[in-house]
Structure 1
Amino acid sequence: MSTSSDIECFRIDESGYTGFDLLNLDQRFQGASAIAISDDDAARLIKQHLPRLQASELKYRTLSRRPANHQPLLALQRDVLSHFKAATYVCDKRFLLVLMFVDYAVEPFYYERGVDFYKDGQNYAMASLLTMAGPTIFGEAAFDAMLAAFQHAAKAKTPEALMALVDAVRATRWQELPEALGPLAKYAAPECLAAIATPGVNTDAALVVLQSLINRMEVMAEGAYRVEHDQSKNLLTYHELLQRFIDHEQNVEFRQTEIAFLKFPLKLTEVTQIDSKTSPAVQLADVMIGAAIEAANTMTGLKSGGLDPDALMSLYADNQFIHMVPSLDFEEQRRFRQGTQASELIDYFSANFAGPSKV
């Protein structure tokens, strides 16, 4: 009988978590990394690439401030990505918020009228259009106020918050694209307001991030595996969700994209919190996600300095890096998401994993 120490272990870390607030100006991106590497191998790589490191714990944010560390950090990640199972997920939180708006404040209106709004990724196409052109179409200040009202309504769920959202939508130039904002602006669609008010529906991105990372770990793991992560406050939400994923024993499978499937029960059998100071492997996960978030900020012009983002991204194979960002290549989105079960998956996750724990 195998013990937990014999089972393949992925170390994970996150960055950019701001709870339900996806409009935080200082943290535009959120993500997580997973690496299947032992502490001994991680310590060896750290010593090889950063031999002068004096700190008791490897922290990407501290190391990246010194230009002299940039090439060693790139070389370190090249070794990890070339020789170990690893994956990183990054999402644009503003885009994710708009996507959630489409899922709950728009889609139910069309569903009631027999229209499959998720077919071939139409929801992603509309969310991309709104994210990239919404401020121009509807008015920048009014569009931002609408998004703020939406995330507040999803959290508060009071009649006052829901009507404040309707008022915020009506305050935009919604007539410019009534297909998107008309359900609330013109009709105050009760089916949309009911979806937003549903217990468990919220704008916390942790579930989205974990779902994507688990997809990759499930593919990379040959059999049963476990997860270790740091004891940080932000990771408490991730920890609870992981445990609920592990405990979910119903046999079900969903197709999300042409390359992503999610099947329960998971191969994941255990999740453990540890002190990152004692785990070089968890520290490497911090380096991976820290570098990826920094690259996203650099590439979008939000910050400067740090590692060369093009050099960093070139280290990743296609199946090692997952991103959720807006795209106006609608034909590519349609092909990528053709035949997906997005509607069924959203309903299933809302029923089984969203909201407070049932334990």
Structure 2
Amino acid sequence: MERFSIDESGYTGFDLLNSDQRFQGATAISASNEDAVRLIREHFPKLQASELKYRALARRPANRERLLKLQRDVLAQNKCVTYICDKRYLLLLMFVDYAVEPFYYEQGVNYYEDGRNYSLASLLYYVGPAILGEAEFSALLAAFQHAIKFKTPQTIHELVLAARRVRWNELPEALEPLACAAPECLAAIATPGVTTDAAFVVLQSLISRMEVMAEVDYRVEHDRSKNLLNYNALLERYIAHDHAIEFRQSSVASIKFPLKLSAVTQVDSKDSPAVQLADVLIGAAIEAANSLAGLRGSVSNPEEVLGLYADDQFIHMVPSLDFAEQKAFRRGTQAADVINYFAKNFHGPTS
């Protein structure tokens, strides 16, 4: 049975405003341990550490070229996919999902048609601080993820107050439902299982590609780290879901159940050279994204790192003001159906 090895980076749970970790992502790679060992020994023959770790190796400038060549060979020789998202943008998409869309749904409007939700989230990302008030807008987003997490009457009331403190009438399409305490939006935010934890989004994106790359049933292995425990529970839910259904998410992405994914296991990364290769890929990709965004930990060759990927090996969720392109990419999406279906079948406690 084919095996994909997964590793993640940038996971901060429900807190998508963590200033130290702007991006979150994960890599899945199909490689045998024998091939992984060969690649590691070829590029790092003098490695003394018990395992290959991107962060430790990247600290030394002398390792940079070897890391780049290792990534080039891994991507050229193996089935791989890397996913990265800007967590602030993802939070704004969630804001649209729960604090905006339910109001328009009650009016009979399909707010997901042709990617309208992505366009509004992108607009909020780029111009929200300027037209709504920078401090007030930041406080609104913090109150939103706080209300989603705790779901108490007090946190939801504080969220409504935060919406009223921004200059919401400058962008009423996005802010009026919450500023006016639209009951359908408040109910959506209070729904059990609704969360701002990005693990669900990351996994869904990886699975959409693994399902295409795998010709037959496959299994997934991942590290035993605390961050990946939530991934494991979600993967087990995906595997157990045997209802036959398919959704179109964009011009290049869809998801179909039952999945070819049939098993998930947790391993110690020291015992899995393939997981170590996934660590290198996602570590380098996150670092490159930080560099392109002008954040700390920048590197001199971010374009070269990301340029190693073929189009079908890299998925990114970042804001864009090219609304025409967004509309074309999302035309015909079944996003509303996907959200409703996943909320019914996969949201809720994972333990």
Q: Same fold (TM over 0.5)?
A: yes
- Return 5+ residue gaps in structure 2 as ranges: none
Deviations 1:122-179 (A, max 9, x none): 0000000001111011011000000000001111111111111000010001111111
1:259 aligned residue (252, 260, 274): 252
Deviations 1:2-42 (A, max 9, x none): xxxxx000000001111111011111111000000011101
Q: CA deviation at 1:304?
A: 3.6
Q: Give, in whole Å, the separation in 2 of the partners of 1:200 and 1:252.
A: 22
Are 1:94 and 2:88 counterparts? Answer: yes
Q: Give, in whole Å, the separation in 1 of the partners of 2:282 and 2:193.
A: 28
RMSD: 0.9
Secondary structure of 2:177's partner? helix
2:341 maps to amino acid: Y
**Aligned pairs (5 A) from 1:82-231:** 82-185=76-179, 187-231=180-224
| Number of matched pairs | 351
Q: Give, in whole Å, the separation in 2 of the partners of 1:66 and 1:12.
A: 25
Q: Give, in whole Å, the separation in 2 of the partners of 1:184 and 1:69.
A: 50
Secondary structure of 1:44's partner? helix
Deviations 1:55-84 (A, max 9, x none): 111000011111111111111011111111
Q: Give, in whole Å, the separation in 1 of the partners of 2:196 and 2:300.
A: 31
Conserved 8 A contact 1:291-1:307: no
2:227 aligned residue (227, 234, 239): 234
The list of structure 1 runs, each at least 4 consecutive aligned residues, that deviate by more than 4 angstroms after superposition, is none
Q: TM-score, normalization: structure 1?
A: 0.97
Q: Give, in whole Å, the separation in 1 of the partners of 2:325 and 2:171.
A: 23
Deviations 1:327-359 (A, max 9, x none): 0000000000000000110111111111213x7
2:288 aligned residue (286, 292, 295): 295
1:78 aligned residue (67, 72, 81): 72
Secondary structure of 1:204's partner? coil
Q: CA deviation at 1:307?
A: 6.0
Conserved 8 A contact 1:35-1:86: yes
Q: CA deviation at 1:50?
A: 1.2
Conserved 8 A contact 2:219-2:263: yes
Q: Give, in whole Å, the separation in 2 of the partners of 1:291 and 1:231.
A: 21
Q: Give, in whole Å, the separation in 1 of the partners of 2:191 and 2:341.
A: 14
Q: Give, in whole Å, the separation in 2 of the partners of 1:215 and 1:305.
A: 30
Q: Please name the residue that 2:41 is paired with.
A: 47
Q: CA deviation at 1:89?
A: 0.2
Secondary structure of 1:229's partner? strand
- Return 5+ residue gaps in structure 1 as ranges: 1-6
Q: CA deviation at 1:305?
A: 3.9
Conserved 8 A contact 2:288-2:298: no
Q: Give, in whole Å, the separation in 2 of the partners of 1:59 and 1:17.
A: 17
Identity of aligned residues (%): 68
Q: TM-score, normalization: structure 2?
A: 0.99
Q: Please name the residue that 1:4 is paired with.
A: none
